[in-house]
Copies of this chain bind each other. A is one copy, B any other.
Amino acid sequence: MGKQLTGAILAMGSPQTKPDIRYRVGFSVPDPVVYVQQASKKYLVVSLLDRELARRVAPDIQVYSPDALRIPRALRGALSGWIVGLLRELGIRTVTVAADFPVRAADQLRRAGLRLFVADGPLVPERAIKTRAEVGRITACQRAAVQAMRAAIRLIARARVDKKNRLRVRGRLLTSERVRRAIYRVLVDHNCTGEGTIVACDGQAATPHGIGHGPLRAHQSIVIDIFPRHLEHGYWGDLTRTVVKGTPSPALKKMYAAVKAAQAAALAKIRAGVSGRRVHLAAVAALARHGFKTGLLEGKAQGFIHSTGHGIGLEVHEAPSLSLRPGRLRAGHVVTVEPGLYYFQHGGVRIEDTVLVTRGGYRKLASCADIFQV
Contact = CB atoms under 8 A, between A and B. Distances in A.
Contacts of A184: 188, 191, 231
A52 B181 CA distance: 26
Contacts of A193: 193, 195, 231
Interface in A231-278: 231-232
A305 B209 contact: no
Contact of A191 (B28, B181, B206, B300): B181
Nearest to A50: B209
A57 to B, nearest CB: 8
Contacts of A306: 49
A319 to B, nearest CB: 15
A209 B316 contact: no
Given A29-B209, A103-B106, A316-B30, A301 B49 contact: yes
Interface residues of A, number: 52
Interface string A21-65: 000000011110000000000000000111111001000000001
A185 interface: yes
Copies of this chain, count? 2
B100 A102 contact: yes
Nearest to A79: B99
Contacts of A49: 207-209, 301, 305-306
A16 to B, nearest CB: 7
Nearest to A65: B301
A196 B30 CA distance: 9
B181 A53 contact: no
Contacts of A84: none
A107 B118 contact: yes
Nearest to A324: B77
A308 B184 CA distance: 33
Nearest to A28: B196
Contacts of A107: 118
A368 interface: no
Contacts of A191: 181, 184
22 contacts: A29-B209, A30-B209, A30-B316, A48-B305, A49-B209, A49-B306, A52-B206, A53-B207, A53-B209, A65-B301, A99-B102, A101-B103, A101-B104, A102-B103, A103-B118, A107-B118, A181-B188, A185-B185, A188-B188, A193-B195, A193-B231, A195-B231
Interface of A: 16-17, 28-31, 48-53, 56, 65, 97, 99-107, 116, 118, 177, 181, 184-185, 187-189, 191, 193-196, 206-210, 231-232, 300-301, 305-306, 316-317, 344
